[in-house]
C-alpha cells in the first residue's frame, strides 16, 4: 500500500455523515424479514433435544412415545440419522469446529443435541422432544477452572500465539523496585444475541437454500457444502438481517446442521429456532479465565515487566482458549513483556469468539492490575498510564499506523472531570450518602482486515448498484457500507441501490473482528472506483463528450457527473455518457485485503480511554454505574451516529461484564442453572445512564485505503476495568472476580 | 407442551365446577404458561379465569377496607391513584416486580399463586420435593446462593419470589377464597406454607379453591405516611430480590405507636417479623433501634447453602427500610421503585 491516499476528488461527502440507518423503519415496523420469519409451504418445525447430563452417554430414547404424539413427523437419533458427507468431528476447512450432529450416543456437555424431533407444529415437535424422555449413563462432570489439569497453549485462538515473550522477563522482575502479583477471575459468558440461532432449510435436488442469521455469509457456503457433499455454489445463504451475532453466528453448529439434514431427509423445508436455554451449550461461549498479573516498576514508575498469564476453560474435544493474556500485548511500554495462555478441559461446549474475544476478559484483569500498580506507586491512574505510554509497539518496536490514545486520555479525562479525583478511595459521597468512585481503563483492539469482493454498476439512468455479501448484525452495515459505495461512485446515497446479505453476491467477508466496514467497505470502494474509471475512459475518449481529451486522471466524479478538474464548465452526466455509448451499463469490480507486507510495517490498533463513575450504597453495596465517558480513536468514522451507537453498545457490554453476566453451573452435574434472561442477567435500560462517547479522528494512511479501523468491539475493552477500578475507588475494596456482586463487597467489608 | 383441555367459564361457580384433579386455573399466565412450556407443569386442564365477571374491580367497602379483585392486573392496581395513595408501599412493591409487560398481564390472584423461582424447581430434570414429593432436593448442595435463610427444611430451601406479597404480609391482608365447599377467608400471613416435610403443599388453599380477592384493612392505610418497600437486587429492573423488606410505621409525638415489618426472598413465604415490630412500639426512631429490630427479625436465620450473606443483607435491608419509612413515604413514586437509587436516579 502506498502512503498516498486515492485522489480526494473521487470522494463525495456521504461518508462522515450521520445518516439514520436505512433499515431502521423496516425493523421497527416489523417488515424486516429475519430468518425465522420465513414460512415456506410444507414447513416442518424442528426441535432439538438437549442433553441434561454433561458427560456420559445416552442409553435410551423413547422414540415410539414421541412418534405416537399427534403431529410428530419424524424423530432423528443416532440410530437413523442419515450420513453426512463431511464428518462433524473433522477439521475440513478453515475455522471448522467439531460439533455433535448425532454421530453417536456420547454426551460431551449439557445441552448438546441428542436427538431432533420434527413436527407439523412447533408445539407437536416440542412435546415429542419431551416424550423422548432420555435415559443416560452419566459420568462425573468436570467444570470450572479447577476441573482438570491445565495445559500450555502453543497456538491460541485464530492462530494467535499462545506464548509471547519480549525482553528478559526474569530481569524485569528483578529490576522492579515495586511490584504486584495479582489474580483475577472472569466467568463463563454466553453470547445470547436477542435473536437466537435459527435456520429455515429447503432443498431442491442437490441445491439448498438456507435462511439463517450468518456473520460469514459466503465463507459459510463452503462449510455447509462440506458437510453435505455439494459444491459451495449449490448453497444459497440469505441473511439480510441478524438480531445480533456477538461472534457466535459465523460458525456451523450441530443443531443447525441437523435441521438442514432433516430437510434433506424428509424432502420438506425445515425450520429450527433455538430456545433461549438452548443458547447455553452448542453455539459457543466465552470460557472462564483465571489470570495472574505480575507487574514491576522502576523508580520512575515505568514498568520493568508486564507478565500476564491466563488459564481459560475449553472443551474436551476442540481447542478455543480465550486468549486473555494477549490483552497485555501492544498497549503499555514495559521492559519485558510476557503473555502466556493455558487451557483447562471441561465438560462444556467449545468456546468461541465472543464480543472482543481475549481482549474483553484480558483487559478486565489488566486494567485493574494497572490501577493496583499505580496505587502502590502512589500515582494517579491516568498519570501512571501516561508514564507507560507506548510510542511504538512494545516488543516489536513497530510504529503504530496511527495512535491517538493520548488524545483519548486527555479529551476523555477533561470531559469526565478526572482532575478532581481524590487519590484515596472512599473520599466521595453524593447528596444521598452514596459512596462515589471514579475509575478508568484503556481500550485497545486490533484493526484487522479480511478479504472481500464487490461489484459496482453504473446504470444507464445514471444511478448505481453495488453488491457485496456483507452482514448487518445491527451495527449498520446496510447504511455505512452504502455510504462508502455512494462515495466511490460519486453519487448521492439515495441514487445507489445496495444489495447485500445473500451468498450469491460477491464475498463481503466476515462480519467479525471489528473488521467488516474496513473489509467490505474497502471492496465496495475499489469496485465503485473501477466502475467510475471505466466510465471516465469512455467519456474522455469520446469526441462528442465535453470531457474529451481530459484523460482519465483529468476528470473528477461528483453527484452523478464528471467534471474536468479545475474547469467545472466542462461536465457531463453519467446517464448522458452511457446513452451515447450505447446504453450499456458499466460494471466495475473490486476487492480488498491487507497483504502480509502491508501488515508487517505497522502495528494497527483502535484505541480508547474509558472513565467510569459508580455509586455504591455504603451498607447494602447495591452498585450503579452512573456515568461512563469513552473516548475512542478508530481511524476514519464513516457514520458517526452508528459508530457512537456501536461504541455505546460495547460499553454496555462492559457494564454487563463488570456487574451482571455469569453462567452459573451446578458443579455436580455440569449444567447451567440460570439459562434464561430472568437468571442470566444483562443490563436493562434502568442500569444504563450517563453514557457518553467521544470519537477522535485519525488520518491513517496505512491501515487500508479508506483509513478505517473498527468500532465493533473496542467499547467493551477498558470499560470493565474502569468499573472495577471505580468500585475500588468508591469503597476501598478491590474485588478480583467478575461480575462484582453485592455479596463480594459485603464479604470484603466483613473481612 | 402436553395436550390439555381448556375451559373458559364466565362465573366463579362455573370455574369451580370445572375444576378436577390435575386442572390448573389460568389468569395472567405469566408464570404458569412458562412452566408449561418447559414441562415443569403439565396440567390436564386449564380453566381460563379471564372472562370471569366482577373480579377486576378495586372497591372500597362500607367498613373502610379495600377489596381488590383477583383479576386486577398488577399494573392497574399499582397505578390506581386511590389505591396507591392509601397503600403506597404496596404500589411500590408491585412496580418493583417483573417488567412493564409482565405487570400488564399478571394478576393479583396469580401473584399470590406464583411458584418459586428456585432453579431446581424450574428445571424439570432436577430433583425437587416441591414438584415431586419424595424426589429429593437438588438445590441443597447445588447453586444455592439465593435460597432461603428462614423457615426452610431439609426437604426444601426455596423462597417465595413475590414483592407484592411482602407488602401484603406487612399490612395484614386477607385472602378471600371460594371453592367446592363454599367461601372462606385466609389471613395472608397463613396463606403460604413453610415447607416442612411437605413442600409440595405451597398454600393453604384446599383442592379446587380459587382466590377471588385480596382485602386490605382500613387500619393498614393509617401507615401510609411512613412506609417503604426496599428491594436489593443485581440489576435495577426485571430481577428478583436478593432480599427485600416492607416497613411501615405510625408515629405519634415522635414515638412509634405501630410498626410493620416483613422480609422478602428469605423464606418460602413473605416473612412477617412480629417480634421486631413489638420491639419498636413506644420507641423513638433511630438507626440504632432499627438495627436492633432487624437483628430480632433475623432471629433463627441460618444458611441453607452458600448463602450466609443473605442473612446479613436481609438484616441491613430491614434496618434501612425502617429508617426510610421513618423519614416518610416519598411524595411521588420513585423513578426506580424500591431501589436504593430510586429517588436520586439519573433517568
Task: Evaluate if residue A329 carries a pLDDT over 60.
Answer: yes
Distance of CA A545 to the CA centre of its chain: 49
The dotted CATH code for A8-32+451-593 is 3.30.365.10
Strand, coil or helix: what is B142?
A: coil
Q: In this complex, do A626 and B141 lie within 8 Å of one another by their Cβ atoms?
A: no
User: Looking at residue B337, what DSSP letter applies?
Assistant: T
- Span between the terminal Cα atoms of chain A, in Å: 58
Give me the long-range contacts of B46-49 (CB less than 8 A, separation at least 24): B46/B4, B46/B5, B46/B6, B46/B7, B47/B7, B47/B8, B47/B9, B47/B15, B47/B18, B47/B19, B47/B23, B48/B6, B48/B7, B48/B8, B48/B9, B49/B9, B49/B15, B49/B25, B49/B109, B49/B210
Residue matched to cell numbers 435462511: A211
Burial of A732 (0-12, 13-18, 19+ CB in 10 A): middle
Smallest CA–CA separation between A742 and chain B, in Å?
7
| CB-based contact B202:B133 (threshold 8 Å) | no
Contacts of B98 by beta carbon, 8 Å cutoff, 6+ apart: B30, B74, B106, B238
Question: For A16-20, A81-85, A661-665, which range has the lowest pLDDT when averaged over its residues?
Answer: A16-20
Q: Using CA atoms, how far apart are residues B249 and A739, in angstroms rounded to an integer?
A: 37
- CA-to-CA dists, residue A510 to A38, A341, A635, A738, B114, angstroms: 24, 26, 20, 30, 46
User: Looking at residue A554, what DSSP letter applies?
Assistant: G
Q: Where are the domains positioned within chain A?
A: 8-32+451-593, 358-388+397-448+600-664+673-750
Beta strands in A567-684 (DSSP E): 567-573, 586-592, 605-616, 623-633, 665-666, 671-672
User: Looking at residue A679, what DSSP letter applies?
Assistant: T
Predicted pLDDT of residue B346 = 46
- What phi and psi values does residue A270 have, to the nearest 5 degrees? -130, 135
Task: Evaluate if residue A6 carries a pLDDT over 70.
Answer: no
| CB-based contact B280:B293 (threshold 8 Å) | yes
Q: Using CA atoms, how far apart are residues B36 and B38, in angstroms rounded to an integer?
A: 5
Q: Using CA atoms, how far apart are residues A47 and A74, in angstroms rounded to an integer?
A: 11
Smallest CA–CA separation between A395 and chain B, in Å?
41
Q: In this complex, do A126 and B239 lie within 8 Å of one another by their Cβ atoms?
A: no
The dotted CATH code for A358-388+397-448+600-664+673-750 is 3.30.365.10
Q: What's the pLDDT band for B344 if we cut at 50, 70, 90?
A: low
Pull the grid cell for residue A244: 445480533
Task: Evaluate if residue A454 carries a pLDDT over 80.
Answer: yes
Distance of CA B304 to the CA centre of its chain: 21
User: Looking at residue B285, what DSSP letter applies?
Assistant: P
- Of A483, A99, A426, give the one whose Cα is nearest residue A261: A99
Cis peptide before A739 (omega within 30 of 0): yes
Write out chain B residues lying below 8 Å of A435, CB-based: none
Mean pLDDT of B306-315: 98
> What is B29-74 written as a DSSP string?
-TTHHHHHHTTS---SEEEE-TT-TT-S-EEE-TTS-EEEETT-BH
pLDDT tens for A420-449 read: 999 999 999 999 999 999 999 999 999 999
| CB-based contact A397:A312 (threshold 8 Å) | no
* Residue A346 CB neighbour total at 10 angstroms: 27
Considering only the beta carbons, identify the residue of A127, A617, A664 that sits closest to B340. Answer: A617
Predicted pLDDT of residue A404 = 98
Nearest-by-CA chain B residue for A668: B142
Same fold, B5-51 and B223-327: no
Task: Give yes or no for A617 touching B (CB within 8 A).
Answer: yes
Task: Evaluate if residue A656 carries a pLDDT over 80.
Answer: yes
Task: Evaluate if residue B176 carries a pLDDT over 80.
Answer: yes
DSSP H or E stretch at residue A365: helix A359-377
| CB-based contact B129:B156 (threshold 8 Å) | yes
DSSP H or E stretch at residue A292: strand A289-297
- Of A401, A143, A350, A348, give the one whose Cα is nearest residue A247: A350
| CB-based contact A612:A410 (threshold 8 Å) | no
Q: Which CATH number fits domain B5-51: 3.30.43.10, 3.60.15.10, 3.30.200.20, 3.40.50.720?
A: 3.30.43.10
Predicted pLDDT of residue B2 = 77
Predicted pLDDT of residue A158 = 81
Task: Evaluate if residue A10 carries a pLDDT over 70.
Answer: no
Nearest-by-CA chain A residue for B139: A666
Pull the grid cell for residue A570: 466542462
Pull the grid cell for residue B178: 371460594
Q: Using CA atoms, how far apart are residues B236 and B232, in angstroms rounded to an integer?
A: 9
Considering only the beta carbons, identify the residue of B138, B232, B239 that sits closest to A620. Answer: B232
Q: What's the pLDDT band for A261 if we cut at 50, 70, 90?
A: very high
Task: Evaluate if residue A76 carries a pLDDT over 70.
Answer: yes
Burial of A174 (0-12, 13-18, 19+ CB in 10 A): exposed
| CB-based contact A227:A84 (threshold 8 Å) | yes
Distance of CA B276 to the CA centre of its chain: 19
- Span between the terminal Cα atoms of chain B, in Å: 41
Q: What's the pLDDT band for A690 if we cut at 50, 70, 90?
A: very high
Write out chain B residues lying below 8 Å of A666, CB-based: 138, 142-143
pLDDT tens for B186-216 read: 999 999 999 999 999 999 999 999 999 999 9
Task: Evaluate if residue A575 carries a pLDDT over 90.
Answer: yes
The rounded mean pLDDT for chain A is 96
Q: Where are the domains positioned within chain B?
A: 5-51, 223-327
Mean pLDDT of A340-354: 97
Write out chain A residues lying below 8 Å of B37, CB-based: 126
Considering only the beta carbons, identify the residue of B143, B316, B320 that sits closest to A666. Answer: B143
Task: Evaluate if residue B177 carries a pLDDT over 50.
Answer: yes
ipTM of the complex: 0.97
DSSP H or E stretch at residue A408: helix A405-416
Smallest CA–CA separation between B68 and chain A, in Å?
28
Estimate the crossing angle of helix B287-297 against helix B308-327, to 10 degrees.
Answer: 140
- What phi and psi values does residue A262 have, to the nearest 5 degrees? -65, -35
Nearest-by-CA chain B residue for A675: B119
Strand, coil or helix: what is A433?
A: coil
Smallest CA–CA separation between B236 and chain A, in Å?
6
Predicted pLDDT of residue A238 = 98
Predicted pLDDT of residue A12 = 52
User: What is the CATH topology of the domain spanning B223-327?
Assistant: Enolase-like; domain 1 (3.30.390)
Pull the grid cell for residue A514: 471489528
Predicted pLDDT of residue A156 = 85
Please identify every residue of A annotated as catalytic: 713
Q: What's the pLDDT band for A2 if we cut at 50, 70, 90?
A: very low
Write out chain B residues lying below 8 Å of A660, CB-based: 234-235
Q: What's the pLDDT band for B342 if we cut at 50, 70, 90?
A: confident
Task: Evaluate if residue A81 carries a pLDDT over 90.
Answer: yes
Write out chain B residues lying below 8 Å of A668, CB-based: 141-142
Task: Give yes or no for A680 touching B (CB within 8 A).
Answer: no
Q: Using CA atoms, how far apart are residues A652 and A339, in angstroms rounded to an integer?
A: 27
pLDDT tens for A154-182 read: 988 888 889 999 999 999 999 999 999 99
Pull the grid cell for residue A175: 529490576
Task: Evaluate if residue A132 carries a pLDDT over 60.
Answer: yes
| CB-based contact A501:A511 (threshold 8 Å) | no
Predicted pLDDT of residue B264 = 98
Task: Evaluate if residue B345 carries a pLDDT over 60.
Answer: no
Amino acid at each position: 500500500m502506498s502512503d498516498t491516499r486515492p485522489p480526494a476528488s473521487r470522494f463525495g461527502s456521504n461518508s462522515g455523515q450521520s445518516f439514520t440507518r436505512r433499515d431502521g423503519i423496516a425493523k421497527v415496523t416489523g417488515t424486516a424479514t429475519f430468518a425465522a420469519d420465513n414460512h415456506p409451504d410444507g414447513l416442518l418445525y424442528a426441535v432439538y433435544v438437549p442433553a441434561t447430563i454433561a458427560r456420559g452417554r445416552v442409553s435410551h430414547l423413547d422414540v415410539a412415545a414421541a412418534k405416537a404424539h399427534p403431529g410428530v413427523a419424524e424423530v432423528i437419533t443416532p440410530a437413523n440419522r442419515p450420513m453426512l458427507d463431511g464428518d462433524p468431528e473433522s477439521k475440513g476447512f478453515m475455522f471448522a469446529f467439531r460439533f455433535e450432529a448425532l454421530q453417536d450416543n456420547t454426551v460431551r456437555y449439557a445441552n448438546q443435541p441428542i436427538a431432533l424431533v420434527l413436527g407439523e407444529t412447533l408445539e407437536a415437535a416440542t412435546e415429542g422432544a419431551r416424550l423422548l424422555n432420555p435415559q443416560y449413563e452419566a459420568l462425573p462432570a468436570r467444570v470450572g477452572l479447577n476441573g482438570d489439569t491445565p495445559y500450555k497453549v502453543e497456538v491460541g485462538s485464530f492462530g494467535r500465539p499462545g506464548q509471547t515473550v519480549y525482553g528478559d522477563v526474569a530481569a524485569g522482575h528483578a529490576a522492579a523496585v515495586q511490584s504486584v502479583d495479582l489474580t483475577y477471575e472472569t466467568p463463563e459468558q454466553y453470547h445470547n444475541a436477542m435473536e437466537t440461532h435459527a435456520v429455515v432449510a429447503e432443498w431442491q435436488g442437490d441445491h439448498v437454500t438456507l435462511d439463517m442469521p450468518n456473520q460469514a455469509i459466503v465463507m459459510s457456503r463452503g462449510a455447509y457444502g462440506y458437510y453435505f457433499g455439494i459444491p459451495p455454489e449449490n448453497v444459497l445463504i440469505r441473511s439480510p438481517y441478524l438480531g445480533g451475532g456477538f461472534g457466535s453466528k459465523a460458525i456451523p453448529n450441530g443443531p443447525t446442521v441437523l435441521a438442514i439434514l432433516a430437510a434433506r431427509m424428509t424432502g420438506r423445508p425445515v425450520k429450527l429456532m433455538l430456545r433461549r436455554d438452548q443458547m447455553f451449550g452448542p453455539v459457543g461461549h466465552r470460557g472462564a479465565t483465571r489470570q495472574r498479573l505480575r507487574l514491576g516498576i522502576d523508580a520512575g514508575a515505568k514498568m520493568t515487566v508486564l507478565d500476564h498469564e491466563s488459564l481459560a476453560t475449553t472443551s474436551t474435544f476442540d481447542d478455543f482458549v480465550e486468549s486473555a493474556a494477549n490483552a497485555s500485548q501492544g498497549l503499555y511500554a514495559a521492559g519485558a513483556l510476557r503473555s502466556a495462555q493455558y487451557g483447562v478441559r471441561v465438560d462444556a461446549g467449545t468456546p468461541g469468539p465472543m464480543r472482543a474475544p481475549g481482549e474483553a476478559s484480558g483487559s478486565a484483569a489488566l486494567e485493574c492490575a494497572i490501577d493496583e500498580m499505580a496505587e502502590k506507586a502512589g500515582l494517579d491512574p491516568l498519570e501512571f498510564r501516561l508514564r507507560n505510554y507506548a510510542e511504538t509497539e512494545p516488543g516489536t518496536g513497530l510504529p503504530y499506523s496511527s495512535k491517538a490514545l493520548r488524545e483519548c486520555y486527555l479529551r476523555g479525562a477533561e470531559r469526565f472531570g478526572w482532575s478532581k479525583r481524590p487519590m484515596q478511595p472512599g473520599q466521595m459521597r453524593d447528596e444521598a450518602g452514596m459512596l462515589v468512585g471514579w475509575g478508568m481503563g484503556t481500550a485497545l483492539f486490533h484493526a484487522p482486515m479480511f478479504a472481500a469482493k464487490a461489484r459496482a454498476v453504473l446504470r444507464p439512468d445514471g444511478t448505481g448498484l453495488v453488491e457485496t455479501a456483507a452482514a448487518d448484525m445491527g451495527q449498520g452495515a446496510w447504511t455505512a457500507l452504502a455510504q462508502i459505495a455512494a462515495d466511490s461512485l460519486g453519487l448521492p446515497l439515495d441514487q445507489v441501490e445496495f444489495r447485500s446479505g445473500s451468498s450469491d453476491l460477491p464475498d463481503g467477508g466476515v462480519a467479525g473482528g471489528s473488521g467488516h466496514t474496513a473489509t467490505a467497505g474497502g471492496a465496495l470502494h475499489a469496485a465503485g472506483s473501477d466502475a467510475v474509471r471505466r466510465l471516465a475512459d469512455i467519456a474522455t475518449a469520446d469526441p462528442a463528450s465535453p470531457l474529451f481529451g481530459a484523460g482519465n486522471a483529468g476528470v473528477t466524479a461528483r453527484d452523478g457527473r464528471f467534471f474536468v478538474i479545475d474547469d467545472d464548465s466542462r461536465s457531463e452526466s453519467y446517464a448522458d455518457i452511457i446513452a451515447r455509448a450505447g446504453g450499456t451499463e458499466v460494471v466495475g469490480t473490486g476487492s480488498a485485503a491487507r497483504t502480509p507486507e502491508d501488515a508487517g510495517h505497522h502495528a494497527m490498533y483502535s484505541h480508547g480511554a474509558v472513565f467510569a463513575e459508580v455509586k455504591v450504597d455504603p451498607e447494602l453495596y447495591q452498585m450503579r454505574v452512573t456515568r461512563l465517558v469513552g473516548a475512542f480513536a478508530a481511524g476514519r468514522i464513516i457514520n458517526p451516529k452508528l459508530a457512537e451507537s456501536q461504541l455505546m453498545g460495547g460499553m454496555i457490554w462492559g457494564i454487563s461484564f463488570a456487574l451482571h453476566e455469569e453462567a452459573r453451573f451446578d458443579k455436580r452435574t455440569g449444567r447451567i442453572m440460570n439459562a434464561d434472561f430472568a437468571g442470566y442477567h444483562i443490563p436493562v435500560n434502568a442500569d444504563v445512564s450517563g453514557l457518553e462517547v467521544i470519537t477522535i479522528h485519525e488520518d491513517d494512511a496505512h491501515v487500508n485505503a479508506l483509513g478505517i479501523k473498527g468500532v465493533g468491539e473496542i467499547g467493551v475493552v477498558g470499560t470493565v476495568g474502569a468499573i472495577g477500578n471505580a468500585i475500588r475507588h468508591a469503597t476501598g475494596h478491590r474485588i478480583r472476580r467478575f461480575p462484582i456482586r453485592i455479596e463480594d463487597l459485603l464479604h470484603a467489608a466483613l473481612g | 407442551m402436553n395436550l390439555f383441555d381448556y375451559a373458559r367459564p364466565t362465573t366463579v361457580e362455573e370455574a369451580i365446577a370445572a375444576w378436577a384433579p390435575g386442572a390448573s386455573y389460568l389468569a395472567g399466565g405469566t408464570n404458569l404458561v412458562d412452566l408449561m412450556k418447559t414441562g415443569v407443569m403439565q396440567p390436564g386442564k386449564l380453566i381460563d379465569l379471564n372472562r370471569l365477571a366482577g373480579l377486576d374491580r378495586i372497591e372500597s367497602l362500607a367498613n373502610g377496607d379495600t377489596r381488590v379483585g383477583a383479576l386486577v392486573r398488577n399494573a392497574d392496581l399499582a397505578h390506581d391513584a386511590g389505591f396507591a395513595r392509601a397503600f403506597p408501599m404496596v404500589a411500590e412493591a408491585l412496580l418493583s416486580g417483573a417488567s412493564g409487560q409482565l405487570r400488564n398481564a399478571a394478576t393479583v390472584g396469580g401473584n399470590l399463586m406464583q411458584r418459586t423461582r428456585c432453579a431446581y424447581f424450574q428445571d424439570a430434570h432436577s430433583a425437587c420435593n416441591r414438584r415431586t414429593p419424595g424426589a429429593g432436593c437438588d438445590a441443597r448442595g447445588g447453586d444455592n446462593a439465593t435460597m432461603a435463610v428462614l423457615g426452610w427444611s431439609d426437604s426444601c430451601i426455596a423462597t417465595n419470589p413475590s414483592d407484592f406479597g411482602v407488602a401484603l404480609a406487612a399490612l395484614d391482608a386477607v385472602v378471600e377464597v371460594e371453592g367446592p365447599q363454599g367461601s372462606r377467608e385466609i389471613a395472608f400471613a397463613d396463606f403460604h406454607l413453610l415447607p416442612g416435610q411437605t413442600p409440595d403443599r405451597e398454600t393453604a388453599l384446599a383442592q379446587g379453591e380459587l382466590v377471588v380477592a385480596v382485602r386490605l384493612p382500613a387500619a393498614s392505610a393509617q401507615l401510609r405516611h411512613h412506609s417503604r418497600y426496599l428491594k436489593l437486587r443485581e440489576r435495577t429492573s426485571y430481577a428478583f430480590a436478593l432480599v427485600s423488606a416492607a416497613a411501615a410505621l405510625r408515629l405519634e409525638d415522635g414515638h412509634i405507636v405501630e410498626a410493620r415489618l416483613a422480609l422478602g426472598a428469605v423464606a418460602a413465604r413473605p416473612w412477617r417479623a412480629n417480634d421486631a415490630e413489638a420491639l419498636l412500639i413506644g420507641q423513638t426512631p433511630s438507626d440504632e433501634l432499627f438495627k436492633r429490630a432487624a437483628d430480632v427479625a433475623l432471629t433463627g436465620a441460618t444458611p441453607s447453602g452458600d448463602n450466609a450473606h443473605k442473612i446479613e443483607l436481609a438484616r441491613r435491608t430491614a434496618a434501612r427500610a425502617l429508617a426510610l419509612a421513618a423519614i416518610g413515604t416519598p411524595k411521588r413514586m420513585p423513578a426506580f421503585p424500591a431501589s436504593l437509587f430510586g429517588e436520586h436516579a439519573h433517568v
